[in-house]
Chains A and B, each alone.
Chain A
Amino acid sequence: MEALFQEYLKAGRDVQTFWENRIAQAMDEFAKSQTFVNTMTRSLEQSLDVRKMWETNLNRWAETFQVVTKRELDEINRRLYDQNAYLDKITTQLADIAGHVRAQTEAVTSGKTN
């Protein structure tokens, strides 16, 4: 009886695994299908449209009541970032110039001593 029960459980699990694998396979295929791509594209476009409308209204409201928006803060953050990038480039250029000057000085000095 026990063996029969175990056999029954195993058969049940096998059937479950079979259908799970079939469903997984079908869903993997569906993810690549044109229908899925179209649905996903449409859903993304709609959510972006809603977001755009919301932001436009929010910006109008912020403009009316003279409130700082996140966009303005982001703008100043961006400009500061660019400045850092320029500074890094200038530092690199200065280091290059210093390297050249050092090399020239060494060449001149070694020329004199020889």
Chain B
Amino acid sequence: MNDTLSKSAARLLEATAANIDLAGRIIEKNLDSVLSGSSATRDEPYRGATTVEEIFRFDSMKLLRYSGTAPVTCTTPLVLVPSLINRAYIMDLMPSATLAGHLREAGIQVYLLDWGTPGPQHDHLPFRFFVDDLIGMAVREACRDTGAKKASLLGYCMGGTMSLLHAALHPNRIERLIMLAAPVNFHDEGPLSAWARKDAFDVDTLVDVLGHADSAMLQSSFQLIKPFSGYQKWKNVFEGSLDAKAAESIVALESWLNDNVNVPGEAYRGYVKLCYHDNAIRNRRFDFDGIEIDLENLSIPVMNVMASKDHIVPIESSRCLSQLVSGPVTDLVIDAGHIGVVMGRKARGMFESVAKFHSTV
């Protein structure tokens, strides 16, 4: 252990010396640019409905603890893992539609892993860094905060796939896994699968040129999945007699939908290649950035929540999970769309099921 430590320290010193040298050269060339700073490092307020407290921070990644009136009755902490593509506060969008708030009021100590706003300093980080290191830090801090030995993960969309990978890497640290509308089989009937397959999408050129996956590009591709839906949505809003609550809900949802972030380049490359190009997770045994993963070794209880009207992650894309892992899988299909599954009216019953599933640890 001492040897590892001294090696890490030596590497750190070496990196520090190299950085000081590089910084010196850059400052010599142009002082103003260095002093103006990057917009990506600015702090942003949390935009969810429930009160939160920041208990850990690593650069722009934050671990937030939800406050609630109900006493905590469940000793295992639950960490919510959102997608890298969108903002984290969808898990806690409005007081009337908050998964995090509901779980907290059910006596669970809930934490949110907020990825923050990635900047160019994150572009070189591999997908595994997010899956292994950053989720690992969140789990570690949640356990430290509650005094528990293990934590449960609840992942939404891409966050669900990432949680599954993290649980497969560290099954001894995770108590239970809950996946909400999370893709597992990426070669499905949906348009995203057709657009992102190997022969249609050259992710290497994209990342090499831009350095990241641009939020505008991702947003427009999501809109193109159902090209006419934008028109139909606003027509319904115009024609329907909107009450104050519905209007509030639409404003909150639209604000979230248009509040996008760039995805760091190397992580995006890794994700697209692993999932959309190779569809590796479906094979059960696969190589994840040099580590052999066999999903059959994953024996923890899993709850897999799918949405019947999901046009981004079709049901067939998640349903096969029960055939891949060896632990018990509880499948739950609800009548909602991809976003409705996490904040819709029809998702309330599911919130109860998730709370019950987590609390029976």
**Interface residues on chain B, number (Cβ under 8 Å):** 52
Q: Which residue of B lies closest to A13 (CB)?
A: B239
Q: How far is the CB of A34 from chain B (nearest CB, A)?
A: 8
B30 touches A67 (CB 8 A): yes
In the bound complex, residues from chain A placing their C-beta under 8 Å from that of B26 are 68, 72-73, 76
A80 touches B228 (CB 8 A): no
In the bound complex, residues from chain B placing their C-beta under 8 Å from that of A93 are 1, 4-5, 8
From DSSP, what is the main secondary structure of chain A's interface residues?
Answer: helix
Which of A1-41 touch B at CB < 8 Å? Answer: 20, 23-24, 27-28, 30-32, 37-38, 40-41
Given A27-B228, A74-B211, A88-B58: A68 touches B194 (CB 8 Å cut-off): no
Tell me the total A-B contact number using a CB cutoff of 8 A: 117
Q: Which of B83-91, B119-127, B282-290, B296-304 sits within the interface?
A: B119-127
Instruction: Pick from B16, B22, B125, B194: contact of A81, CB below 8 A.
Output: B125
A-B contact pairs, 27 of them (CB 8 A): A20-B231, A27-B227, A31-B227, A37-B195, A38-B200, A44-B206, A48-B206, A51-B209, A51-B210, A67-B29, A68-B26, A73-B33, A73-B38, A73-B120, A74-B123, A75-B22, A76-B22, A77-B38, A77-B119, A79-B22, A81-B59, A81-B125, A84-B59, A85-B58, A88-B58, A90-B5, A93-B4
Using CB atoms and an 8 Å cutoff, list the residues of chain B in contact with chain A.
1, 4-5, 8-9, 11-12, 15-16, 18-19, 22-23, 26, 29-30, 33-34, 38, 58-59, 119-125, 129, 133, 137, 140, 191, 194-195, 200-202, 205-206, 209-211, 224-229, 231-232, 235
List 6 other contacts, CB 8 Å, given A76-B19, A78-B123, A90-B5: A24-B228, A41-B202, A48-B205, A79-B18, A79-B22, A96-B1
